[in-house]
Amino acid sequence: MRVGGPIRMKIQRALVSVSDKTGIESFARFLTEEGVEILSTGGTYRAISEAGIAVREVSDYTDFPEMMDGRVKTLHPKIHGGILALRDNEKHTGAMADHGIGPIDLVVVNLYPFEETVAKASVARAEAVEQIDIGGPSMVRSAAKNHRFVGIVTDPEDYGRVMDEMTKQSGELSDDFRRELAVKAFQLTARYDAAISDWLFKQELTDGKTDQPTPGSCSLAGTKLMDLRYGENPHQVAGFYRSGGSNEPSVATAEVLGGKALSYNNLVDLDAALALTKEFEEPFACVLKHNNPCGAAQNASLAAALEHAWSGDPLSAFGSVLGMNRPVDLACAEFLTSGNRFVEAIIAPSFDEDALDHLRTVPKWGKNVRLLACGEFGPKDRDASELELKRLVGGFLVQGRDLLTESASDCKTATKAEPSAAQLKDLLFANIIAKHVKSNSIVLATEGRVLGVGAGQMSRVDSVKLAIEKAGDEAKGSVLASDAFFPFPDGVETAMEAGVVAILQPGGSMRDKLVIEACDGKDVSMVFTGSRHFRH
């Protein structure tokens, strides 16, 4: 140890206990060649010793047996005292001498795979609980707290960096490097604890053991997947993180098959496109621009659905993001690359090989368009226990996901005229789309395809006007869905003047009677669902 300035210490003893044994043999061999004594436990001890590397079992070092199926092995004063002792504090070094505690200069620990375990479908509670690591996080936190004297390595990706540093600095780790490793260690334990508390709370909800709809405390934790060039705008920094514990197909778990690096705005739009696409069982495609669907359709084939979705607003579709719920085939690929069409990104369960080859080789498309495959999915694959979070300055909001989908039985006719079966089917289709449009949301549709969308306007009648403008002549004979009630008759009057023949809305306005009378005056049917779908 050097007195004054940054503390540097030669590593003489290391504790190695890892769940993920990637690269551990070569790392342990390097440590022994550097003259480092290795202490280890359980499976890690066996892996190192069977590789012919000198290693001492922790139970031999502490003179206390490993017990309770390995639950108690490193929770011992000779372990934590050796990690936590301040080497420049005489009281600490005196206690070490009095109790035969040797210093531990390097701790190499990664944790039981809790997140991977609970991500498996139908994992048993007992299996999940057994993957809650106790000794591992205790050693990680001890070493990270005492990083002035102890190096803490939690990621196999850092083994090479540790070896390089020890080689260059005669077996030592620099103060700056130990600080960096400590930050990473505390990030790991924070994410680990957040994943455990989140999963256990979801279990209580699922099992009906709590009447609290949201947890008493909430931690936001994830693993960085990538740094992004910037956020919504070039002057904003951004990164993309994946939270653990969910097996639902998502943008975070999707495989990127080609195209430019993903941007912040791409990811937001792709997530919105996938959320809408998950609503449908039959072949469906949607076209999103700035987080709003400008076109969407369902059909007997994906290619037909895509063509109809694009026709909803061809002008806005240029430079859009697409979502599809079937493997992208060659017919879809050829349609997209024909004419003057271009998109920023596509997310789908998968891409047929010939479609992928086509999209990768067409000029302008191949090197630019991001292609993401997220695996098969459907409405039943959505995790209702997932909570949505929205950051505010000084805090954040938490809510459940809006997974409510109305059916014909939820629709109560409020007018004298009844919608036909075909109209009701289109109304329910338009209602699903409206749920994914920024409020105030108005959607015109017919025959399973979107004709026009009014989004994000400050008044509902303006959204109606915008949807009619987008639909053009096709507004005549269409149906309309609104995400919330009409506060005045002007919205439905404007729609009926354009030829809308049926309307769906939640109802609940103090002026519902006036709105109903306006529809009755034009012999237009209107149904109430009783459910609002605001999206801000």
For the annotated catalytic residues, the residue numbers are: 145, 290
Contacts of 530 (CB under 8 A, 6+ apart): 410, 412, 506, 507, 508
> Per the structure block, which two tokens stand in for 509?
């306005």
Query: Residues in the chain, how many?
Result: 536
**How many helices and strands, by DSSP H and E, does the chain display?**
19, 21
Closest by Cα among 332, 378, 388 to 358:
332
DSSP SS3 for 399: strand
DSSP notation for 373-386: E-----GGGS-TTP
d(CA 203, CA 425): 36
Strands (DSSP E) contained in 248-338 are 255-258, 284-289, 292-298, 320-324
d(CA 82, CA 75): 12
What φ, ψ does residue 526 adopt, rounded to 5°? -145, 135
**Strand duo 56-57 + 37-40: pairing:** parallel
Closest by Cα among 153, 152, 139 to 58:
139
| Torsion of Cα atoms, 243 then 272 then 437 then 390, to 10° | 20
d(CA 399, CA 411): 25
- The one-character DSSP state at 72 is B
Q: Do residues 173 and 151 touch, judged by C-beta distance below 8 A?
A: yes
535 C-beta neighbours (distance < 10 Å), count: 17
